[in-house]
Amino acid sequence: SSAMAKSKFEYVRSFETDDTCLRNCYIVVRLDGRNFHKFAEQHQFAKPNDDRALGLMSRSARSVIEELEDITIAYGQSDEFSFVFKRTTTWFKRRASKLMTHVASQFSSSYVFYWKEFFGEQPLLYPPGFDGRVVLYPTNHNLRDYLSWRQADCHINNLYNTVFWTLIQKGGLTTTQAEDRLKGTLASDKNEILFSEFDTNYNNESAVHRKGTTLIWEKRNETVSKRIKRPNEEEQQVPVTRSRRKVEAYYCDIIGDQFWEEHPDVLED
């Protein structure tokens, strides 16, 4: 306030630069684990997919969505998670650094906080970190292409990793032999190796590994029975229905139209 004396040091605040995100754009914050190749090795993650680690990533993402404002959808795979703030958010005056650092720190502290729920007595050996970046998308089309890009990345990596580790774990190849075997192969070749040599249909592999994890808010009506006592009446049990918001996880295709048609509230006009 003007009544409060300003120190002679106050001018340094003017060195802060403006990082307000352009209005009307979706604000996407993507986090990625720092050096998780090593983190996965040191914590003996199962190859190619450790479900404890994926569960912990999702749990941490859920904490971000529940604790912070205005996130409408999040998508994660491997050691990364993307969070989408609604177009109209005014949270922290849309300041990129505030939004990004709140997402990154809430996620990181949750990753440590919930570690035990997923890894039990296996100790966390050192404090993990996550980098963050902010990207703005002006149209629904751009935003859907962004999420499609991440899911396509998940698919490409998971198909490769699935064949790679199958060749090693079931085919007895060394890592170098498996690498050589896969050099220059197309997706169809990889599917064929799994099918003809290992009797495995890639499409029957776990959906969370193939598609990644999509988190959205869902409204559902919850009916609870409440005791009500009105003056001069007997106490009664009355059903009370209220609409509650809950974060729901999907492990499905988000590239095609179906998911978006089934959840029309996620995107705005």
Residues that bind ligand ATP (CB under 6 A): 32-37, 40, 45, 49-50, 53-54, 78-79
Please report how close the Cβ of residue 203 comes to ligand ATP at its closest, in angstroms. 20
Please report how close the Cβ of residue 36 comes to ligand ATP at its closest, in angstroms. 3
Per partner kind, with CB cut-offs from 5 to 8 A, the member of Mg ion, ligand ATP, none near residue 107 is none
Residues, the chain:
269
> Does residue 36 interact with Mg ion by CB under 5 A?
yes
For ligand ATP, the closer CB: 1 or 196 = 1
For ligand ATP, the closer CB: 25 or 182 = 182
Rounded CA separation 45/28 (Å)? 28
Please report how close the Cβ of residue 44 comes to Mg ion at its closest, in angstroms. 18
CA 27 from centre of chain: 15
Rounded CA separation 146/56 (Å)? 24
For Mg ion, the closer CB: 26 or 36 = 36
Rounded CA separation 184/201 (Å)? 21
> Looking up tokens 């039990």, which residue turns up?
120
For ligand ATP, the closer CB: 49 or 108 = 49
Rounded CA separation 197/212 (Å)? 26
Give how far Cα 218 sits from Cα of 81, 90, 140, 250, 268, Å. Answer: 19, 22, 20, 11, 15
> Does residue 79 interact with Mg ion by CB under 5 A?
yes
> Does residue 33 interact with Mg ion by CB under 5 A?
yes
- Closest C-alpha among 32, 74, 77 to residue 50: 77
Please report how close the Cβ of residue 180 comes to ligand ATP at its closest, in angstroms. 19
- Closest C-alpha among 152, 105, 151, 141 to residue 26: 141
Among 19, 32, 66, 153, binds Mg ion (CB under 5 A): 32
Number of residues that bind Mg ion (CB under 5 A): 6
For ligand ATP, the closer CB: 192 or 205 = 205
Three-class SS of residue 73? strand
Please report how close the Cβ of residue 52 comes to ligand ATP at its closest, in angstroms. 8
> Looking up tokens 């988000």, which residue turns up?
254
Give the footprint of Mg ion on this chain (CB under 5 A).
32-33, 36, 78-80
